[in-house]
Amino acid sequence: MGSKLHWSLILALAFIISFFPSHSEARNQAADQEACNPVDLRSLADFKAGIKVDTSGRLSKWSGNGCCSWEGIVCSNATGRVTEIRLPGLITTEDSIFQSEMNGFLSPSITSISSLQVLDLGGLISIGGMIPPSIGFRLPDLQKIYLFGNRLTGSLPDSIGKLSKLQELQLHENSLSGSLPPSIGNLESLNQLLLYSNEFFGPVPDSITKLRNLVDLDLHGNSLSGKIPGKIGELQGLKLLDLSNNHLTGEIPVSITDLRSISVLYLDTNYLQGEIPFPSSCGGQMSSLGFLRLSNNNLTGRLPPNFGCLVSLQRAALDNNKLHGPIPSSLGNLSALSELYLGSNRLSGKLPCSLGQLSRLIMLNISHNKIKGQLPQECMSSLHNLQTLDLSFNRLNLTSFPRWIAQMPSLSRILLAGCGIQGEIPQFLYSTPSPIQELDLSANNLTGILPGWLGKLTSLYSLNLSRNSIASNIPDTVINLQSLGVLDLHSNLMTGSVEKVFEIGSSFLEDGTLKHIDLSDNQFTGGIESLGLGSQASVNHLNLSRNYLERSLPNSVGRLMSLQVLDLSHNNLSYELPESLGNVISLEKLKLQRNKFTGKIPGGFLNLKSLDELDLSDNLLVGKIPDGKPLSQFPRSSYSRNAGLCGKPLDPCTNS
């Protein structure tokens, strides 16, 4: 439940402003302290007793027997009974917002407050317990239930269906489980049903389609299974339908085209199959649909030829399905479209020229498909707002880097991996107006050198030129790449020293920005003595495997305190392993096999508690493996073919 409470934490962090109720306090004290209904008074006292901690201080001021004047309590003038409990976690006043917390459990006594219309204990973070099973029988006037953002467990009681006046049911972000009671379909006044981020399982009851007043239906992030109710289209007022991140199977019901008010439709990350049934015609079906996600399903068939009739579409994510056939040219009619994700399907044919009409487009991702042929330059070059273009791994056979791509004024992320680009890295990239932050030309057929002018692309964050045939040194100018975070040059024909990379950005920032360095599978030579001496405190992945590196692994490696992966295997490194490597407690993978390391394994390695992959095989190590976890837990093969290691997991050391 990773997203749980996310919203409240963000707000809490954004406004670190203390809140103290001030002026209203005195007035409340003076307010008439006429005794309230004794049943309500007892129930509220029970509720208060269930809460162990209240960081807002509201409950500590509940005293005496005039509960109608207590903060957060509203009574009816006519009957004197309590009608509202409003104690939301987020406390907003004119000039501050404060995230409060109540820790404890929800007393079942609240079901005795028989005139209750509003129960708002939303976002209090730590209220546990259950929704009282009798809630539907005993609180027939309930209109609004806000219990979201707590730690409630148990199921949604069947009696909930008795609440014929209920308009809003917000139980999201709890740990509720069990199946959804079919009685939910009796909530004829309901317009908002938010049950997301819980642990509900079983089917979505068909009865839900009887909720004719429903506007928002959000069940995402549960474990619901079975099919989407076939009559879902009868929810004519529905604006938001989010069933994503469940285990739903079967096809998307055709009736979905009847949702004439739908604005947000998220069915992604399920096991849905069959074809996309909408829009079946071009007569204004689903004409309000702005946000569509069908990603990560098993959808087949073609993209509907009428897809371009969804006139309000702003974001469409259909990636990671099994859609085939061409991209329909009607897509060019989607004039509001800003993000289009079609990656990891089986789409074929050429890119339609009409895509160029999408002047609002910011993100276009068609990677991992079977799109063929030349890119229609004359149309595509008018995508003035495009920021990200990912055409990687198609059958484009571009032969050369398209010059017009480098002329797009807003483009910051260019991903053209596996596009059959040949020749040298084109010089025109140097004078591009695009503020390039990410350049991925991996798995192409680039030859020639890594040009010195690369150092001028100072916005560059990620450079991936891996799996090409680039043959040169690393140019001195790389030191100027002050924003670089990811450098992947693996599997090329690079020569010379790797040490320049350790200086990247060092003249600009103390800690550096570099996180991921992969120079493996090249022909680099020389030592790595300056490793850790520059500003590499942020590096978490360093792969220098399969080169011709020699001499020692320096003590300064112990300064790389963020390192999670260190792969120096298949080189010619020698001397003893530095004890300081034991300080890098973030290390998860350590691969030093096939080198010439000598001496003993340092005892400090026992500090590497996060280590889950270790390979020291094929070295010249001797002596007893330091005794204890994690070293003793690895297989014998982690230590094999050394000069003379012994001790767990290898054979015991003999005493001589």
Would you tell me which residues interact with ligand NAG (CB under 6 A)?
A: 77, 271, 273, 298, 308, 319-320, 329-330, 332-333, 343-344, 354, 365, 367-368, 388, 390, 397, 399, 413, 415, 417, 442-443, 445, 464, 466-467, 486, 488, 490-491, 516, 520-521, 543, 545-546, 548, 565, 567, 572, 589, 591
Q: How far is the CB of 377 from ligand NAG (least distance, A)?
A: 14
Q: Which is nearer to ligand NAG, 63 or 572 (CB)?
A: 572
Q: How far is the CB of 454 from ligand NAG (least distance, A)?
A: 16
Closest CA to 360 of 330, 386, 333: 386
Q: Which is nearer to ligand NAG, 239 or 368 (CB)?
A: 368
Q: Which is nearer to ligand NAG, 107 or 330 (CB)?
A: 330
Q: Which is nearer to ligand NAG, 124 or 408 (CB)?
A: 408
Closest CA to 276 of 231, 325, 235: 325
Which residues make beta-bridge pairs with 516? 486, 541
Q: Which is nearer to ligand NAG, 20 or 404 (CB)?
A: 404
Which residues make beta-bridge pairs with 130? 153
Q: Which is nearer to ligand NAG, 217 or 587 (CB)?
A: 587
Q: How far is the CB of 398 from ligand NAG (least distance, A)?
A: 8
Q: Which is nearer to ligand NAG, 56 or 569 (CB)?
A: 569
Q: How far is the CB of 154 from ligand NAG (least distance, A)?
A: 31
Q: Which is nearer to ligand NAG, 225 or 329 (CB)?
A: 329
CB-based contacts of 78: which residues, under 8 Å, 6+ apart? Answer: none
Q: Which helix (H) or strand (E) holds 50?
A: helix 38-50
Q: Which is nearer to ligand NAG, 124 or 463 (CB)?
A: 463
Residue nearest to ligand NAG (CB): 343
Q: How far is the CB of 632 from ligand NAG (least distance, A)?
A: 22
Q: How far is the CB of 347 from ligand NAG (least distance, A)?
A: 12
Q: Which helix (H) or strand (E) holds 41?
A: helix 38-50
Q: Which is nearer to ligand NAG, 54 or 438 (CB)?
A: 438
Q: How far is the CB of 506 from ligand NAG (least distance, A)?
A: 21
Q: How far is the CB of 451 from ligand NAG (least distance, A)?
A: 19
Closest CA to 195 of 138, 111, 131, 263: 131
CB atoms within 10 A of CB 2: 7
Evaluated on CA atoms 53, 55, 57, 59, the torsion sign reads negative
Q: How far is the CB of 46 from ligand NAG (least distance, A)?
A: 26
Q: Which is nearer to ligand NAG, 174 or 394 (CB)?
A: 394
Write the single-letter amino acid at 563. Answer: L
Q: Which is nearer to ligand NAG, 184 or 204 (CB)?
A: 204
Q: Which is nearer to ligand NAG, 113 or 563 (CB)?
A: 563
| Adjacency order of strands within the sheet including 247-249 | 177-179, 199-203, 223-227, 247-249
CB atoms within 10 A of CB 476: 11
- Three-state SS sequence of 492-544: CCCCCCCHHHHHCCCCCCCCCCCCEEECCCCCCEECCCCCCCCCCCCCCEEEC
Which residues make beta-bridge pairs with 440? 415, 464
In terms of C-beta density within 10 A (0-12 exposed, 13-18 middle, 19 or more buried), how is residue 609 classed?
exposed
Q: How far is the CB of 269 from ligand NAG (least distance, A)?
A: 10
Write the single-letter amino acid at 61. Answer: K
CB atoms within 10 A of CB 128: 16
The span from the CA of 413 to the CA of 439, in Å, is: 6
In terms of C-beta density within 10 A (0-12 exposed, 13-18 middle, 19 or more buried), how is residue 350 classed?
middle
**Which position has the token pair 């560059």?**
460
Cβ atoms 583, 555 nearer than 8 A: no
The tokens of 316 are what? 């469409």
**Which position has the token pair 């040059």?**
489
CB-based contacts of 348: which residues, under 8 Å, 6+ apart? Answer: 324, 325, 326, 369, 370, 371, 372
Longest dimension (CA), the chain: 96
Cβ atoms 276, 301 nearer than 8 A: yes
Which residues make beta-bridge pairs with 200? 178
Q: What is the DSSP letter of 153?
A: B
CB atoms within 10 A of CB 30: 9
The span from the CA of 368 to the CA of 342, in Å, is: 9
Q: Which is nearer to ligand NAG, 233 or 308 (CB)?
A: 308
Q: How far is the CB of 15 from ligand NAG (least distance, A)?
A: 31
Find how far residue 288's CA is from the centre of its chain.
27
Q: Which is nearer to ligand NAG, 360 or 589 (CB)?
A: 589
Q: How far is the CB of 480 from ligand NAG (least distance, A)?
A: 21
Q: How far is the CB of 97 from ligand NAG (least distance, A)?
A: 27
Query: 576 phi and psi, to 5 degrees?
Result: -80, 155
Q: How far is the CB of 287 from ligand NAG (least distance, A)?
A: 12
Q: How far is the CB of 228 from ligand NAG (least distance, A)?
A: 15
